[in-house]
């Protein structure tokens, strides 16, 4: 029998539903289980938890709430496979033998609760809890990516303008990468040339006898050949890289010559001229109208005199 004490059920009710159910599982001395795969225990845990919540909401004392929880555990355990008449008889016997005495009104409320829940849906409980469940489940893990936080509207721009800037940035980055490759190739070939010259120098030092004219000419020719080969490779790589950089510059220049039109489009020079001319015309027309009014007033004054 699980030890449902008054202090334990009080803690269960005071906690939030998820934490309260987990603490109730600990009080019932059940092992941790999967809520989805093991629905038998999940349904039983829900039934016991709801009975405790009902008893607490009805104002029963905490020892009485614990007794209601124990009664629910016994009903779920001892009525498996039994007819409903036996379940009603077991319920009546357990209610009359509660260790905590309840007033008639509250005892009747507890009896009505079990009749309206457990007894009313008795065959549903029997079908779900008394039979083994065929587990045929498939689980798929789906990773959900939250949308990025949008920038403030003042920092926003048109989509075409953004794509245009991205293309320019990509071309500039490729150009910088080509220049870095050119420097790296030059350094690599220089190092290879130094290693070749050092090898020739070491070969000369290992020879104890005096070099003949033919051997000296051969060594000098080898050194010159190494220098020419290194310079040729450097020039070839630089020419190729320079050509690729020029291609990138040409693409960048063509992009700069055809920028996208922002939305809303900027005013044309004609629109600016019209907007600049209109205020002057309005001022002139106002001045003319005011002058004509003053002339009319002066004429009227003269006629009166």
Q: Could you report the per-residue pLDDT of 219-228, keeping only the tens digit for each?
A: 777 777 777 8
Beta strands in the chain (DSSP E): none
Residues in the chain: 305
Q: Check residue 211 and give its pLDDT.
A: 62
Give the C-alpha separation, 146 to 163, whole Å: 23
The pLDDT of residue 208 is above 60: no
The pLDDT of residue 9 is above 50: yes
Name the range with the highest mean pLDDT among 32-36, 73-77, 220-224.
Answer: 73-77
Which has the closest alpha carbon to 64: 25, 109, 21? 109
The pLDDT of residue 89 is above 60: yes
When pLDDT is averaged across residues 61-77 and rounded to a whole number, the result is 89
Give the C-alpha separation, 239 to 138, whole Å: 61
Q: Cα torsion for 81, 85, 88, 93, to the nearest 10°?
A: -90
Banded pLDDT at 133 (limits 50, 70, 90): low
Cis before residue 264, ω within 30 degrees of 0?
yes
Q: Check residue 288 and give its pLDDT.
A: 62
Q: Check residue 283 and give its pLDDT.
A: 56
pLDDT in tens, 269-298: 676 677 665 555 555 555 666 666 676 666
Q: Check residue 303 and give its pLDDT.
A: 57
**283 φ/ψ angles, rounded to the nearest 5 degrees:** -65, -40
Identify the residue with better confidence: 134 or 107: 107
Give the C-alpha separation, 230 to 224, whole Å: 10
Helices (H) and strands (E) in the chain, counts: 10, 0
Which has the closest alpha carbon to 98: 128, 62, 63? 63
When pLDDT is averaged across residues 62-74 and rounded to a whole number, the result is 89
Q: Check residue 232 and give its pLDDT.
A: 81
Which has the closest alpha carbon to 97: 63, 72, 71? 71
In this structure, the number of other CB atoms found within 10 A of the CB of residue 199 comes to 12
Q: Check residue 210 and give its pLDDT.
A: 63
Give the C-alpha separation, 191 to 101, whole Å: 98
Q: Check residue 237 and give its pLDDT.
A: 81
Q: Check residue 1 and give its pLDDT.
A: 46
Q: How many CA atoms lie within 13 A of 283 on its CB side?
A: 5
61-70, 90-99, 271-280: which has the minimum mean pLDDT?
271-280
Identify the residue with better confidence: 193 or 76: 76
When pLDDT is averaged across residues 22-45 and rounded to a whole number, the result is 84
Banded pLDDT at 149 (limits 50, 70, 90): confident
Pull the structure tokens for residue 97. Answer: 């033998």
Computed over every residue of the chain, the mean pLDDT equals 80
The pLDDT of residue 145 is above 50: yes
Banded pLDDT at 78 (limits 50, 70, 90): confident
């Amino acid at each position: 029998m699980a030890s449902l004490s008054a202090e334990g059920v009080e803690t269960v009710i005071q906690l939030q539903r998820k934490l309260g159910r987990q603490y109730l599982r600990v009080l019932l001395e059940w092992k941790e289980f999967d809520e989805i795969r093991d629905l038998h225990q999940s349904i039983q845990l829900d039934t016991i938890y709801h009975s405790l919540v009902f008893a607490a909401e009805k104002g029963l004392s905490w020892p009485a709430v614990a007794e209601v929880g124990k009664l629910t555990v016994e009903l779920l355990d001892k009525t498996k496979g039994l007819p409903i008449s036996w379940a009603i008889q077991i319920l009546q016997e357990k209610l009359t033998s509660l260790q905590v005495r309840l007033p008639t009104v509250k005892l009747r409320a507890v009896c009505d609760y079990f009749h309206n829940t457990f007894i009313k849906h008795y065959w549903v409980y029997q079908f779900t809890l008394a039979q083994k469940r065929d587990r045929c489940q498939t689980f798929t893990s789906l990773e959900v990516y939250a949308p990025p936080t949008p920038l403030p509207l003042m920092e926003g721009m048109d989509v075409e303008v953004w794509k245009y800037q991205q293309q320019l940035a990509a071309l500039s980055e490729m150009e910088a990468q080509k220049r870095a490759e050119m420097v790296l190739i030059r350094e690599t070939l220089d190092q290879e040339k130094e290693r070749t010259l050092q090898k020739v120098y070491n070969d000369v030092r290992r020879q104890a006898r005096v070099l003949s004219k033919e051997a000296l000419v051969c060594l000098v020719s080898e050194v010159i050949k190494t220098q020419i080969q290194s310079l040729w490779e450097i020039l070839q790589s630089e020419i190729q890289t320079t050509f690729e950089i020029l291609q990138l510059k040409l693409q960048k220049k063509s992009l700069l010559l055809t920028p996208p039109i922002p939305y809303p489009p900027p005013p044309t020079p004609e629109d600016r001229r019209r907007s600049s001319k209109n205020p002057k015309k309005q001022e002139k027309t106002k001045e003319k109208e005011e002058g004509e009014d003053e002339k009319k007033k002066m004429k009227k004054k003269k006629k009166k005199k």
